[in-house]
Amino acid sequence: MSKDFIDERIDACHTMIEEGNFAEVPQILKLIGEIRIHDKDIKEKIRQFEKEHDEKLEKDLMEIEKTNEDSLRKQQKGSRMIYLHSISYLRFYDQLRKDHEIY
């Protein structure tokens, strides 16, 4: 049952990205790490990934905001960064699931 739950969440996140609802994907996937994963080594791997990727997104968004571009261009670039961030999270959790048989 837990395996199906995690598979369903990962599949739902994939669908959300396809539908353009990518901003919520990292939060949904983070819940898997917080609630369903108990192995300390895997949790550390997740923590490190999340820290690096969240800091990178924050830095990238701040850099976009500092530019002299018009607000529409900034919004487009920011949306692209959030999209790539979500894709990265989905790939990470999907691979994590395959590599470690998380239930």
Q: Give the residue among 40, 2, 30 at the shortest CA–CA distance from 88.
A: 30
Alpha-carbon span 65 to 36, nearest angstrom: 36
Q: What is the model's pTM?
A: 0.89
Confidence of residue 103 (pLDDT cuts 50, 70, 90): low
DSSP category for residue 23: G
What's the pLDDT tens digit per position in 16-25?
999 999 999 9
What's the pLDDT tens digit per position in 38-87?
889 999 999 999 999 999 999 999 999 999 999 999 999 999 999 999 99
Domain ranges of the chain: 2-100
Name 43's Cβ contacts closer than 8 Å, sequence gap at least 6: 33, 37
DSSP category for residue 67: S
Residue 94 exposed, middle or buried by CB count within 10 Å (0-12, 13-18, 19+) = middle
pLDDT value of residue 19: 95
